[in-house]
């Protein structure tokens, strides 16, 4: 009788879970990307499940050069806006982390960091699922080789 009750309880639990959206694990919503002194990110694509309400991203600069010589940041924008945003960022200068202040094309961005440093940001994913998104470094001259795709999986 105890085995039958246990099976019924397990079946009831399973039935209650069917149709319930899966929640993303905390690990799935936390990303780390590395940059280096050779103008590279260590990956050219990042993604998170749609069940992540927000993303926590850590940028680690594994190089040794200082921020004023080989600084990197991580910027997220619509792919259609990325190149123009990078060009406008060069004009904004280092005090603005090479991004135009208050520009609504910027979905998320870290500060500029130098070798041996890291920085972390958290941003919301609402409205990002299914969009064509690009991440890049906006330090002058870095856009061409330091970019990739970002996806919130539907």
Q: Residue 1 — very low, low, confident or very high, per pLDDT cuts 50/70/90?
A: very low
The structure's pTM equals 0.83
pLDDT reading at 4 higher than 90: no
Is 19's pLDDT higher than 70?
no
Residue 111 near residue 66, CB atoms below 8 Å: no
Mean pLDDT, to the nearest integer, of 50-78? Answer: 98
What's the rounded Cα separation, in Å, for the pair 77 and 59? 16
**Taking residues 21-50, what's their average pLDDT?**
88
Edge to edge, the sheet with strand 118-124 lists 30-35, 54-61, 118-124
Q: Mean pLDDT, the chain, as a whole number?
A: 88
């Amino acid at each position: 009788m105890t085995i039958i009750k246990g099976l019924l309880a397990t079946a009831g639990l399973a039935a209650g879970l069917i149709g319930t959206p899966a929640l993303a694990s905390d690990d799935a919503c936390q990303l780390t990307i590395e940059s280096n002194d050779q103008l590279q990110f260590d990956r050219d694509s990042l993604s998170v499940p749609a069940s992540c309400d927000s993303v926590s991203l850590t940028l680690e600069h594994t190089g040794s050069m200082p921020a004023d010589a080989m600084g990197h940041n991580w910027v997220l924008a619509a792919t259609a806006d990325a190149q123009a945003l990078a060009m406008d960022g060069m004009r904004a200068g280092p005090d603005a982390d090479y991004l135009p202040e208050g520009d609504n094309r910027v979905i998320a961005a870290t500060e500029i960091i130098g070798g041996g440093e890291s920085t972390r940001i958290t941003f919301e994913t609402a409205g990002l699922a299914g969009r064509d998104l690009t991440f890049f470094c906006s330090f002058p001259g870095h856009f061409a080789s330091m970019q990739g795709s970002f996806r919130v999986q539907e």
